[in-house]
Amino acid sequence: MRNNSTSFWAFALALPILGFVLPKVGLNEYYFYVAYVVLQYVVLATAWNILGGYAGYVNFGTGAFFGLGAYTALVAMKAFGAPLFVQIAAAAIVGALLGIGAGLLTLRLKGIFFSIATIAAAIVIETFILNWRFVGGASGMQVIRPEVPLGFETYTRLLFFVMTILTVLAIIVARYIEKSWVGRGLHALRDAESAAECSGVPTLRLKLLACAISGALMAAAGAPFPLYTSFIEPHSTFSLNYSVMALSMAVVGGMSRWWGPVLGAILIASTQQLAASASPELHLLVVGLLMVLFVIVAPDGLVGLVQWARKMVGPGRKEVELARGSERA
């Protein structure tokens, strides 16, 4: 296990360094566009999974958190001229507050009510943005980008670097939660909330904590968006597509481990980029079919398949996550 841990931290350190160096050694601009989008989905899917996978609360408002993050950043930029770092921090705080709000509202209700509340919150927030002229309202707004900081050649390269940091942060948080008492508590909460409460798990606080972290990460993923597109408009920013994508990535990748959504996001987001020239509609159809197929045939997603394959290949390896895997059997 220690071995595993060392390589994880090496990777966590290497990714942002790569993110800083790669954009400066040339390389085709387009790869940074693609990598940015893929990493953005890695963050969204990982954040979604903290609540959806570990605690069993399905968030349908990924688009709302993402869009709120984007618009918070826009306001911070437009009203206060805040630098990108501050924009992201502000977005994360607002996202956490929204998460806590949705959690508080549905505190003692079953998971599906949380889902409904997130749908409702998405519509309410989008309506407010639609009517807010300061951020362009329904017409949207062209974002005038200041000079690129940190000596990057273009904004896309800078934002790619920023997204590698967010990705690593999201993964570290997810991994920590999974391995710590928080994760175990959330699991207990997912499987039997009342039983967990009786046995002394602080369910309320845990749930709110998960809501806040998940919301903060989603909003942070949306914060660089105005600078990325240089034009922002509510309908596409609050799109339900983000919710669909985050959910399908976690389901296909596997919800029980932190690397499940990462795998799912990389797979689905990169094939989506490839499908842009062929038929995106077919890609959507394939995503839908995969989602149904996986929840039925392979409910643990790619994670489950990998673990199964490992067990087949090397039965000698000690299964640390046996306890976790056994609950399905």
Partner 1 sequence: MSNFTKRSVLRTMLLGLGLATIAQPIWAQDNPIKVGTSMALSGPLAGGGRQSRLALQMWVEDINSRGGLLGRKIELITYDDQGSPAQSPGIFSKLIDLDQVDLLIAPYGTVPAAAVMPMMKERQRLLIGQIGFQINSKTHHDMWFNNSPWSDADSWVGGYFKLGQKVGVKKVAFLAADQEFSQNILAGAKTLATKSGFESVYEQTYPPTTVDFSAMIRAIRAAAPDMVFVASYPADSTAIIRAVGEIGIGSSVKLFGGGMVGLQYEAVMNTLGSQLNGIVNYHTYVPEKTMAFPGVREFLDRYTERAKAENVDTLGFYVAPFSYAAGQILEQAVKATGSLDSVELAKYLRSNEVQTIVGPIRWSADGEWAEPRVVMIQFRTIKDGDAEQFRQEGKQVVVDPDRFRTGDLISPLSEAQRN
Partner 2 sequence: MSIDLLLEGLIFGVFVGCFYAAVSIGLSIAFGLLDVPHIAHASFLVLAAYMTFLLGSYGIDPLLAGLIILIPFFALGAVVYRFYYEAFEKRGTDAGVRGIAFFFGIAFIVQVILSLVFGLDQRSVAASYIGSSLGLGEMRIPWRLIVALLVAVGLVLALNLYLSRTFQGRAMRAVAQDPWALKAIGANPVMTKQWAFGLATAATAIGGALLIIVSPVEPSLDRVYIGRTFCVVVLAGLGSMSGTLIAGIMLGVIESLVLTAFGASWAPAVAFGLLLLVLGLRPQGLFGR
Question: What residues line the site for partner 2 (CB under 8 A)?
Answer: 52-53, 56, 58, 104-106, 108-113, 115-117, 119-121, 123-124, 127-128, 130-131, 190-191, 240, 244, 247-248, 251, 255, 281, 284-285, 287-289, 291-292, 295-296, 299, 327
DSSP 170: H
CA–CA gap between residue 236 and residue 231 (Å, rounded): 11
284 scored as a contact of partner 1 (CB under 8 A): yes
Measured from the CB of residue 283, what is the shortest distance to partner 1 in angstroms?
9
By C-beta, is 37 or 204 nearer to partner 1?
A: 37
Which residues, at least 6 apart from 152, have a Cβ–Cβ distance to it below 8 Å? 23, 24, 158, 161
34 scored as a contact of partner 1 (CB under 8 A): yes
Name the helix (H) or strand (E) containing 231: strand 231-232
CA–CA gap between residue 130 and residue 124 (Å, rounded): 10
Measured from the CB of residue 21, what is the shortest distance to partner 1 in angstroms?
19
Name the helix (H) or strand (E) containing 272: helix 259-275
Options 5, 7, 142, 180; binder of partner 1; rule CB under 8 A: 142
By C-beta, is 154 or 279 nearer to partner 2?
A: 279
The CA angle 183-105-129, to the nearest 5 degrees, is: 105
Q: How many CB atoms lie under 10 A from the CB of residue 79?
A: 10
Query: Which range touches partner 1 (CB under 8 A), out of 135-143, 203-211, 292-300, 302-310?
Result: 135-143
Measured from the CB of residue 329, what is the shortest distance to partner 2 in angstroms?
11
By C-beta, is 123 or 274 nearer to partner 2?
A: 123
44 scored as a contact of partner 1 (CB under 8 A): no
By C-beta, is 58 or 159 nearer to partner 2?
A: 58
288 scored as a contact of partner 1 (CB under 8 A): no
- Phi, psi (degrees; rounded to nearest 5) at 83: -70, 165
Q: What is the chain's length?
A: 329
Measured from the CB of residue 166, what is the shortest distance to partner 1 in angstroms?
17
80 burial type by CB count under 10 A (0-12 exposed, 13-18 middle, 19+ buried): exposed
Cα distances (angstroms) measured from residue 125 to each of 13, 194, 226, 237? 36, 32, 17, 12
Q: How many CB atoms lie under 10 A from the CB of residue 10?
A: 10
Binding site for partner 1 (CB under 8 A): 28-30, 33-34, 36-37, 127, 130-131, 137-140, 142, 144-145, 154, 156, 225, 228-233, 235-237, 239, 273, 276-277, 279-281, 284
